[in-house]
Amino acid sequence: MPELDSPQRQAPDSLMLTGFWYRALPADRVHRHRLEKAMLLEIPLVVGRDRAGRPFALRDACPHRGMPLHCGKFDGENLECSYHGWTFDVHDGQCQLIPSLTADQDLKVDRIYAGSYPCEEQDGFVWVYIPEPGPQGAGFSKPEEASEPAPVIEKFTDKYKLAYLSAGMPVSIDHGIIGLMDPAHGPFVHQAWWWRSRHSIHEKKKNFEPIPNGFRMSAHTPSSNSAPYRLLRLYAAADSITTTIDFVLPNVRTEIIRAGKYWFSSLTTVTPITRSQCRIDVVAAWNIFRWLPFGPELLKFVFAKFVEQDRRTMELQAEGLKHNPHLMLIDDADRPAKWYFQLKAAHLEAKRTGGEMKHPMAGAVTLRWRS
Ligand code: FES
Ligand SMILES: [Fe+2]
């Protein structure tokens, strides 16, 4: 994609990337002996926990005649479909029993599978791996393996607190993600008397560098009007505080702030639910305020405000996007959004050709904007 001085027209493709881990549900919503519904990349899932507490995820459709499996009976190990009683192992989806078969009918039951997905619990969420779409022939394929474990939040001490926040956004994954990395909306969307007003706008200059599958805002002293920074400022000298923000495909933003022995680490994802809906999940871990009873609540309050402001904004934006207007991205404020689209295109191209992914950034870049 050429870099032009004039604004570039952009039409997000809203393609949802397969071959990655996605957050399905908060872990505290998934209980033993109960089945939950979830949707990822337009794939309906039934999610639960076995007797030992290990989570699982199956496609929420019986391979026999498509009955949703969440309507079935679950004994902590196997799930029985509510239509004809076919029974499946919840972890690998393998069929265990077809009640209608007579003793002399030798249909190979164990060759039938309900679609199952690799599933992991990590930092308060159940993650599900969505593999590349396999060859047709559903019902006879063994589950895919994930090539790597689900993302984890980096932690710097043994003791820490963890909290999460989720909000559904009625926009495509692309708008969700570029909204997340957009540096210019802050003074307009995130105003609050205890926070800042649009009069606090000032020029910013940040260095970015390419990293595998993404880009990094290099370690720097955070801008004086960012949330965790203001809180950390109570604990450490301003010049000892550094923050690093990474974005990596398909949807992960990590932010690490360190201030002497204190740290704050977050992993935010924007998860495609359907083509026109996504969900933002912020999970944060920190070792500040551990001794302060209201510390976590304060932090949650600040983030809940922000996420709600973003959610409300995207709800309104969805109205404007309904009839496919032409859109544009400008330099430098929208450059991260351009990188996101370029990374996605490069990833898809590498998949198509089977070659190495060509990173869209040649090297480190300095961006300037006012916010
Ligand atoms: S539809 Fe599930 S057993 Fe028939
Ligand atoms: Fe925001």
Query: In a mutational test of the pocket of ligand 1, which residue from 73, 80, 81 has the highest number of ligand atoms less than 8 Å from its CB?
Result: 81
155 phi, psi to nearest 5 deg: -125, 150
Q: Give the residue with greater pLDDT, 7 vs 19.
A: 19
Tell me how crowded residue 241 is: count the other CB atoms within 10 A of its CB.
Answer: 21
Ligand 1 lined by 98 (C-beta under 6 Å): no
Q: What tens digit of pLDDT does each residue of 89-141 get?
A: 999 999 999 999 999 999 999 999 999 999 999 999 999 999 988 655 456 67
- d(C-alpha 272, C-alpha 265), whole Å: 23
Q: In this predicted structure, what is the pLDDT of residue 295?
A: 64
- The answer to whether 251 and 343 are in contact (CB under 8 A) is no
Ligand 1 lined by 235 (C-beta under 6 Å): no
- For residue 62, the ligand 1 atom closest to its alpha carbon is 2
pLDDT band at 218 (very low <50, low <70, confident <90, very high): confident
The ligand whose atoms approach the alpha carbon of 314 most closely is: 2
Mean pLDDT over 280-302 rounds to 76
Indicate the average pLDDT of the chain: 88
pLDDT band at 11 (very low <50, low <70, confident <90, very high): low
Mean pLDDT over 10-16 rounds to 70
Q: In this predicted structure, what is the pLDDT of residue 87?
A: 98
Ligand 1 lined by 81 (C-beta under 6 Å): yes
Atom 3 (ligand 1) nearest CA: 84
Query: Structure tokens of 332?
Result: 């430098």
Ramachandran region of residue 100, left (φ > 0), alpha (ψ -120 to 50) or beta?
A: alpha
CA of 61 relative to ligand 1 center, distance in Å: 9
Mean pLDDT over 149-169 rounds to 93
Q: What tens digit of pLDDT does each residue of 234-270 get?
A: 666 666 788 899 999 999 999 998 888 888 899 999 9
Query: Structure tokens of 155?
Result: 């932690």
Q: In this predicted structure, what is the pLDDT of residue 225?
A: 61
Mean pLDDT over 311-319 rounds to 94
C-alpha of 257 from chain center: 20
Q: In this predicted structure, what is the pLDDT of residue 62?
A: 96
Q: In this predicted structure, what is the pLDDT of residue 224?
A: 64
Please say if the pLDDT value at position 172 is more than 70: yes
3-state secondary structure 295-340: HHHHHHHHHHHHHHHHHHHHHHHHHHHCCCCCEEECCCCCHHHHHH
pLDDT band at 15 (very low <50, low <70, confident <90, very high): confident
- For residue 66, the ligand 1 atom closest to its alpha carbon is 1
Mean pLDDT over 184-205 rounds to 78
Strands 55-59 and 116-117: antiparallel
> Residues 6 or more apart from 192 whose CB is under 8 A from it?
305
Q: In this predicted structure, what is the pLDDT of residue 345?
A: 94
Query: Structure tokens of 224?
Result: 């004086």
Ligand 1 lined by 167 (C-beta under 6 Å): no
45 phi, psi to nearest 5 deg: -125, 150
Question: What pTM was estimated for this model as a whole?
Answer: 0.91
CA of 298 relative to ligand 2 center, distance in Å: 18
Closest to 131 in 3D by CA, of 67, 60, 57: 57
Rounded percentage of the chain residues whose pLDDT exceeds 90 = 68
Q: In this predicted structure, what is the pLDDT of residue 219?
A: 81
User: Mean pLDDT: which of 216-225, 247-256, 290-299, 304-313 is highest?
Assistant: 247-256
pLDDT band at 4 (very low <50, low <70, confident <90, very high): very low
CA of 53 relative to ligand 1 center, distance in Å: 26
CA of 146 relative to ligand 2 center, distance in Å: 32
- For residue 81, the ligand 1 atom closest to its alpha carbon is 2
Q: In this predicted structure, what is the pLDDT of residue 292?
A: 59
